[in-house]
Chains A and B, each alone.
Chain A
Amino acid sequence: MDSSSPPRPTAATDRRGFIKQASGAVAVAMLAHPLLARADAEPSEPPPAPGMLRVTLNVNGQDRTCDLEARTTLLDTLRDHLHLPGTKKGCDHGTCGACTVHVDGQRVLSCLTLAAMAEGRKITTIEGLAAGENLHPVQQAFVDCDGFQCGFCTPGQIMSAAACLREGHARSDDEIREWMSGNLCRCAAYPNIVAAVRTARDRSA
């Protein structure tokens, strides 16, 4: 694969890797579950309910602990357990990109990642991208270039765009188009998304 090829998902995000890792992770989680629960819980905390798994995730710089069914995806954990609904569920199949988050700096489809697989890794969501009140350059460029319409795919687009810039895959408009093609936008803000990525790149230069 040469360096200008479109992105291959990381092992945790492509379908085959997912199934392999997921079944492994669930098995490990099931076996390790009582131990993990004892190891992670504060002495005063009651153990998780039977069948539940206590998971600690580092999200946007904070450790967050919650009790989950082992089969819970990272996406559903973020949205429904950690009150971070900015990350969106568009397909739950790994086909649309709306659920894109960063795990250890890489773009990952959170609908194809079990929460249990993300323990010990640094997770960044759309809520954690801005530095306080200051928008990330990609966020500001999306506003300025109208890089969205309905806004539903936008968190995923922005997380992909930020990674795309960091990866150095925004050298030309065609390269941006190719490397941003894993994020569907039915409103088709695509030309404006390209303009936003280009603008963020030029402003950061």
Chain B
Amino acid sequence: MKDVTIPNPAPKLVGADVSRVDGHRKVTGTADYTADYNFPRQAWACAAKSTIAKGRIAALDTAAAEKLPGVVAVYTWKNRPKIFPPKKEDSGFMVAEHLAPLADDAIHYHGQDIAFVVAETYEQAREGAGLIRATYEETPAVAQFSAPKRETPGKIYGEKSHLEKKADGVASVADAWQASPTHIDVTYVTPMVHHHPMEPHAVIAKWHTNRLTFYAPVQWMYGARNFLAASLALPEENVRVISHFVGGAFGCKGSSWMFMLIIAAAARDLDRPVKFVIERESMFTSVGYRPRTTQRLQLGADAEGRLQAMRHLTESNVSEVGPFVEAAGHRATSVMYASPNIEIDHQVYALTVNAPTFMRAPGEAPGMYALESAMDELAVALKMDPVQLRLANRTANHPMSALPFSSRNLEECYRVAGEKFGWAKRPPTPRARLDGDWWVGWGMASASYAAHRSNASARIRVLADGTAEVACASHDLGTGTYTIMTQAAADELGLPLEKVSAQLGDSTLPEAPVSGGSQSAASILPAVQMACRSALAKLKALATSEADAPLHGVAPADLEAADAGLRVKSDHSRHVTYAALFERSGEGAIEATEKVDPSAETKDKREQPSYSRTTTAYQSYGAFFVEVHVHRLTGETRVRRIVTAMDIGQPLNLKTARSQVIGGTAFGLGAALSEHSLFDEDSGAWITRDLGTYHVPVNADLPEIDVSFVGPPDFKFNALGARGLGEIGNTGITAAIGNAIYHATGARIRELPITPEKILSSLDEA
């Protein structure tokens, strides 16, 4: 893995190039995903969906389904099993769609669940769902993007929808923009796109009297538990959610969805386990998507390229039943460049459509696409190199709050990735190189994602045989959580990797936050460390306190964990294994659980850094350099090279860190070139309904991706110096590809995805 560089190689397992501890299970087909489970007496459910977008059900004929052999129940709004749908103000979980399921005869969007058929077999349930016949009284849907009134949303990530800063004496940011010697005014459109993890959502609900065991791939164990408990009127401890493996998520498994509730209630009603696996086509209508954005960027600069004014004005759609706002400027223009005048505004419009939700880098992905495309256009207008333009606008402080960044090494990202790429040899003008029938272009863009942490707990057990178990109710979405938990515990306890096992994906384990916002590793590993240190304190007492203890007389502070036991720091020959300690004491295990609350951290008490959002801004940065080839006759784009450098603090595992960056990059490549959930503005229905028409990148679409990690560990952020990196890979890359296509062809496409027909029609003009 020679293309990965690490600035501060950690001496131990954390930071090393470690293969996944769950790799063997994944390659042998023994990793247990939700739909892999089947239980005795289990029934299968399948949903019938509305075929209109708005109106009411005039008649619902369920007779044919009910008569079908094997069908055990048909649930509709007339016989909904007993549930208590959550209210908007409820907390402890996330709900994207505020629509009680099977509530009444009203239809709120195309593809809404109107009936659930439960049957003995999957085949019977599916046939039964197909036999449900609804007749509707239709009313007009709001489906035209341009039709609805634009409205000011509530808070966007805790901020007002309109943000502004102005230099003294400036009347308005618009005036400052107008007065700038060079200014551009450009508008970009990003379409609705869907997550499409390879694992469709699945749930199995199983009751034992009034206790529910619920299998479901989720990004928030405790959130799903709390949602189910609240909605089924159960104490939280009566609900156990299990999700050992999640087959990809990307945001669509973060919120709880109402079908979870119906399946749980149906299983209670029928007194047997019920399994529900949604079809790929329902992934378009039932589990969220990224909304459409229209972003107007007005950038003004002086002759040296210094930004004088930035305006980032966004409109995005929400749903009539889901308020999620796809921030853009708030998550991009607010954190990137020095400018005395910045204005960010966001307006929304409600469509008759299912609810949108978080999708990998929500806000940053479209926001950084527009900003970094506009920066490229400004560089063209200034006749400046795009990297030089960005260097001219560097900042050490947050552009809006003026707080200092804990660690910001963006310029190092440009240097490292730019040199590897060979950027210095880039011809300044577009359409400079034709290789056979292919125009060759180079483009670049910055990447950025905020660093988050939340409360997290972890438990460690050191067992009599000298092995250890580390546990917390976090999630492994392919992110490598099993592996980094194991690495961290092994380091703290001085154990080899194979002596530590990790447990997660179970709501009976200590609480972990939602695996979203790239916060899991940064949140849970400090708790793992703390739990290990508490366990070590107990082990040290075993080793020293009694008169005949093996290391009696040594102060606990003079002991350290090493070689599967404890040793004297100043004399490594004085060592006792954990197994020997347990044998002597007769105890079966030592256990410790610790919680880390980032806002309560103090340096002295917990050996943790002072983390404070009121004094410091925490943000990761990166840079992408891309080479594309665009066919002069067909308009086909092939991405030939991608070089990226990421400033994310300490990578916790070089192998999985690199994989996460590659995954994010591919997400952005799909957004740039092929992904587009077509929405019919006449009927309010999705047109793309399968993976044959919704084009996620395939193997042949990706070139080698050269990943470097730069910058020091960020110890102001947490004790590991790690800021997390699940999402930053999907920021900036989309712009870098568009900028490279411009450089190749001279055609600037401002509406994603950049498909051959858009390139061809622009080539005529270029």
Contact = CB atoms under 8 A, between A and B. Distances in A.
Contacts of B704: 191
Contacts of B478: 148-151, 187
A85 B659 contact: no
B247 A152 contact: yes
Contacts of B573: none
Interface string B185-226: 000000000011111100000000000000000000000000
11 contacts: A86-B28, A89-B35, A92-B279, A96-B691, A143-B19, A148-B27, A150-B476, A151-B26, A151-B247, A189-B659, A191-B702
Contact of B248 (A86, A91, A174, A187): A187
Interface stretch (A19-27, A30-38, A102-110, A125-133): A125-133
Nearest to B476: A150
B662 A185 contact: no
B28 A92 contact: no
A61 B245 CA distance: 28
B666 A89 contact: no
Given A150-B247, A151-B478, A158 B666 contact: no
A45 to B, nearest CB: 21
A189 B195 CA distance: 16
Contacts of B718: none
Interface residues of B, number: 66
A122 interface: no
Interface string A53-85: 000000000000000010110001001100111
A86 B10 CA distance: 36
B307 to A, nearest CB: 34
Given A139-B28, A188-B667, A189-B659, A88 B699 contact: no
A183 interface: yes
A148 B198 contact: no
B662 A191 contact: yes
Given A90-B198, A96-B691, A143-B27, A150 B700 contact: no
Contacts of B198: 88, 90, 96, 98, 150, 152-153, 184-187
Interface string A180-200: 111111111111111000000
A74 to B, nearest CB: 13
Interface of B: 19-20, 22-33, 35-38, 69, 121-124, 195-200, 245-250, 277, 279-280, 476-480, 655-656, 658-660, 662-663, 665-667, 690-692, 696-705
A146 interface: yes
Given A89-B35, A150-B246, A188-B662, A130 B19 contact: no
Given A69-B121, A91-B691, A146-B19, A189 B663 contact: yes
B280 A135 contact: no
Task: Give 5 nearest A-B pairs by CB, closest first.
Answer: A86-B29, A152-B247, A150-B478, A149-B478, A188-B666
Contact of B696 (A148, A152, A186): A186
A33 to B, nearest CB: 16
Interface of A: 51, 69, 71-72, 76, 79-80, 83-93, 95-96, 98, 125-127, 129-130, 135, 139-140, 142-144, 146, 148-155, 158, 174, 176-178, 180-194
A91 B28 contact: no
A90 B656 contact: no
Q: SS class of chain B's interface: helix, strand, loop or mixed?
A: loop
B199 A90 contact: yes
Contact of B691 (A135, A139, A184): A184
Given A85-B36, A148-B27, 20 more contacts: A85-B37, A86-B28, A88-B247, A93-B690, A127-B29, A142-B23, A143-B23, A150-B476, A151-B26, A152-B197, A152-B245, A154-B27, A155-B29, A177-B699, A177-B700, A186-B696, A188-B665, A188-B702, A190-B697, A191-B705
B20 A146 contact: yes
A16 B732 CA distance: 41
A150 B26 CA distance: 8
A95 B690 contact: yes
B504 to A, nearest CB: 14
A107 to B, nearest CB: 15
Contacts of A191: 662, 702-705
B698 A87 contact: no
A179 to B, nearest CB: 9
Contact of B699 (A80, A126, A193): A193
Contact of B28 (A135, A150, A176, A190): A135
Given A96-B691, A150-B198, A188-B666, A126 B28 contact: yes
Contacts of A129: 28
Contacts of B656: 146, 149
Contacts of A183: 699
A143 B22 CA distance: 9
Given A92-B279, A187-B663, A191-B702, A150 B23 contact: no
Contacts of A93: 280, 690-692
A165 B352 CA distance: 49
A155 B123 CA distance: 24
A193 B20 CA distance: 15
Nearest to B703: A191
A19 to B, nearest CB: 15
